[in-house]
Structure 1
Amino acid sequence: MVREVAWQWQILILLQITSLSFQLNHEFVPVNEEMFSDCTDNPGFESVDKLADLSAFGRKRAPNGGINIGGNITMKWNVQPSDRIGVEVGIYKLEKGVWKPTVLKGGDRDFCKSFYDKNTLYYPYSTEHVINKEDVKDKCINIPGTVLVVEPFLERILISYAAPLTPGRHKALITFTAFDKANAKRPDAICLEIIGDVVKA
């Protein structure tokens, strides 16, 4: 009887959290219309310019919010096509001038396997809009010269989490690391930041 009651409480709590996740909707609004910037607190990492040529990739703030995006991204990271690419993402909040980590973090130890996967969290904000997917589906960010053709679209990053987010300045810190066939880490890991404000949607 006690075990049955405990399970009922767990189900109720789960339902409340699920409901909460649909109520707490926020938008992440980048402060820089270029979106990407170099990591300021991660010495030893290469900049986003080492990862890709973004000179033909347009980014312009829209009058009604979000950023209009479109154009070509040409990969230029000097690693091997056979390398495994790991990615880590952490969300930080600016509090009294100091970036503090939040509970929101994640990663993918084999990013290239899921790069075009429609079930990933980032797909609607990125890979979905690559219109030459069929031509580059066997390529990834570790193959220099690969060109991703991105259709024009309005980037608005909407967030819905069970854990409440407090409005304010945040940043997503993203690192890409290449590993060779012996699983040894290559030295030229990439780090980039997207700084923005979390506001209620």
Structure 2
Amino acid sequence: MYIKHANTSKQVTKNYYYCTITVTIKFDQFCNTMVSLNKHVAVIFISALTIGQSAMYRFLPDDYDLFTNCEDRPELGGDSDLMDLSAFSITFTDDVIQLNGTGLVLWDIEPTDRVTVDTEMRKFSRGTWQSSYLSVKVNDLCKEMKNTNSKMYDYWTKHIISEFSCIGKGVKLQHEPFEIDGDFTMVGMNMEGRYAIVSILHAYDRNNQLKPNGICLQIPGDIIKV
């Protein structure tokens, strides 16, 4: 219903005000529609890109002894300071690593010490080893070894058949025969190239004081697409 006013100036102002509100509402609706559409397009694009770049890879270690010392950390001990593996066998096949036997801990720490482990995947690029975003930190190795929900337990410590409280000098870790699969899936990036898995171990006493005899181990190898 339109009500005519005798005052012409008021009538013009009222009509103009009505038109302005109408245009603003339509513009907001248009903006919201475009934002929603852009979000859906972005999700579809990212999903398609991610699916297209997923691939299966395999890590092939260099050495039949598996572990080597860290040349860039001479102040830290190496594999021979950590464990005697003379009664432990490591066999490589095309797609798995077969392990069996007993390891004797040589590292001069107590089973009551808290051990931290910092592990990082480094890539060899342009003549040097460079850090990558692939890393993991364990704040208490003993707890992680006994945590049935942990990856460490699933891959390693569930296969230890001897009784042990934690690692410490003189502790024997007897293993049943088991295998580690070197295959993995990576999404969003190409992993092919030369890599090293580097792990640094530190021990802390009952008073949470850092012990000076840290350990550094690395597993160099190549990652190929399978």
Q: How many residues matched?
A: 193
Considering fraction of residues, name the structure with more helix: 2
Q: Which moved more, 1:97-106 or 1:162-171?
A: 162-171
| Contact persistence 1:52–1:73 (CA under 8 A) | yes
Gap regions ≥5 residues in structure 1: none
Shift of 1:42: 1.2
Structure 2 partner of 1:191? 216
CA deviation profile, 1:26-73 (whole Å, cap 9, x unmatched):
1111111110111111121011111111110111222x3433211101
Aligned AA (1:91) = M
CA distance 1:150–1:182, change in 2 (3 Å)? same
Structure 2 partner of 1:112? 142
Structure 1 partner of 2:100? 70
Structure 2 partner of 1:177? 202
1:47 aligns with 2:73: no
Shift of 1:15: 6.1
Q: Which of residues 49, 60, 81 is equivalent to 1:29?
A: 60
Structure 2 partner of 1:56? 87
| Contact persistence 1:91–1:102 (CA under 8 A) | yes
**Identity, % of aligned pairs?**
27
Aligned AA (1:46) = G
Shift of 1:171: 0.3
Shift of 1:128: 3.0
Over aligned residue pairs, what C-alpha RMSD do you find? 2.7
CA distance 1:68–1:104, change in 2 (3 Å)? same
Structure 2 partner of 1:81? 111
Structure 2 partner of 1:154? 179
| Contact persistence 1:33–1:67 (CA under 8 A) | no
Distance 2:171 2:200 in 1: 20
Secondary structure of 2:86's counterpart equals coil
TM-score (norm 1): 0.82
Following TM superposition, the consecutive aligned residue runs of length 4 or more in structure 1 with deviations greater than 4 angstroms are: 4-21
TM-score (norm 2): 0.74
Shift of 1:85: 0.6
